[in-house]
């Protein structure tokens, strides 16, 4: 079955620690996205990637980093510079980045990050 | 003011009731999405609209471009419809980026 997987489901971070959230898709999608969801707020875009070896900052990129070495994978690192990392993180993908407004984003199951 | 506003924030209904969730936006858009987020957190896309009306099973979504408003209706609601429903818009200009509403939490009691 095609889809998006995220791991782990729950992740705990200690003060000053970097942690990496995994996102893998087997949908052959070019575009991938990372969102952060906080209680009472809409999803906010952290980073997005239109194609392999290319990515751009979203609206709240500070304290985060990404890589896109393979089409299937778009890991997100939450660095120690992110002072308020506790949130629900969602990865998504879409067929391509383009002007076709009909394209839908497909979401993974999410990772809940908690700070110890 | 948020670019995408949803109402109500929370909604409780009895099984079988007709449900309406509203979404208003203040920007020019090329498309509007309705998404469903279950208690576990995963999100599923329900509809993508650029005009008119779409129906899938007991779900109906409408959009009025002139009034910048969309509604999601659920007929004969069921407890399994309990979820957070999220409205998201794609801005005009060919951007792939979506702007999300805060969501409407629906609880359907048996």
Per-residue pLDDT 10s for chain B (110 aa) are 679 999 999 999 999 999 999 999 998 898 899 999 998 888 999 999 989 999 999 999 999 999 999 999 999 999 999 999 999 998 887 666 789 999 999 999 99
CB contact under 8 A, B90 and A101: yes
Are A90 and B43 inside 8 Å of each other by CB?
yes
* Separation of alpha carbons A24 and A5, rounded Å: 5
Residues of B with CB under 8 A from a CB of A: 2, 4, 30-31, 33, 35, 40-45, 48, 50, 86, 88, 90, 94, 96-103
Which pLDDT score is estimated for A10?
A: 94
What does the pLDDT read at residue B17? 97
For B63, phi then psi, to 5°, come to: -140, 140
Give the chain B residue nearest A90 (alpha carbons). Answer: B42
Asked if residue A52 lies in contact with residue A32, where contact means CB atoms within 8 angstroms, the answer is no
Q: B-contacting residues of A 34-93, CB under 8 Å?
A: 40-45, 48, 50, 58, 88, 90, 92
> What does the mean pLDDT of chain A come to?
90
Torsions phi, psi for B57 (to 5 deg): 65, -125
- CB atoms B45 and A105 under 8 Å: yes
* Nearest chain A Cα distance for residue B8, angstroms: 13
Helix, strand, coil distribution of chain B in percent, nearest 5: 5, 60, 35
Euclidean distance between CA atoms A80 and A94, whole angstroms: 30
Least Cα distance to A6 among A86, A76, A111 occurs for A111
User: In this predicted structure, what is the pLDDT of residue A99?
Assistant: 55
Q: Do A106 and B45 touch (CB under 8 A)?
A: yes
> What letter would DSSP give residue A103?
P
């Amino acid at each position: 079955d095609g889809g998006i997987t995220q791991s782990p489901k729950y992740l705990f971070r200690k003060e000053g620690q970097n942690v990496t959230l995994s996102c893998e898709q087997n949908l052959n999608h070019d575009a991938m996205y990372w969102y952060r969801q906080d209680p009472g707020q809409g999803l906010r875009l952290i980073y997005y990637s239109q194609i392999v070896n290319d990515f751009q900052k979203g609206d709240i990129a500070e304290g985060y980093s990404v890589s896109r070495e393979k089409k299937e994978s778009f890991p997100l690192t939450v660095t120690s510079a992110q002072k308020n990392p506790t949130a629900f993180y969602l990865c998504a993908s879409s067929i391509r980045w383009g002007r076709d407004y009909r394209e839908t984003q497909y979401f993974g199951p999410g990772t809940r990050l908690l700070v110890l | 003011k948020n670019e995408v506003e949803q109402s109500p924030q929370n909604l409780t209904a009895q099984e079988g009731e007709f449900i309406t969730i509203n979404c208003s936006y203040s920007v020019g858009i090329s498309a509007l999405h309705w998404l469903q987020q279950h208690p576990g957190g995963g999100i599923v896309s329900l509809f993508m609209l650029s005009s008119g009306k779409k129906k899938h099973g007991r779900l109906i979504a409408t959009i009025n471009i002139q009034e910048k408003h969309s509604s999601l209706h659920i007929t004969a609601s069921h407890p399994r419809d309990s979820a957070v429903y999220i409205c998201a818009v794609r801005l005009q200009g060919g951007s792939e980026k979506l702007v999300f509403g805060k969501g409407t939490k629906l609880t359907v009691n048996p």
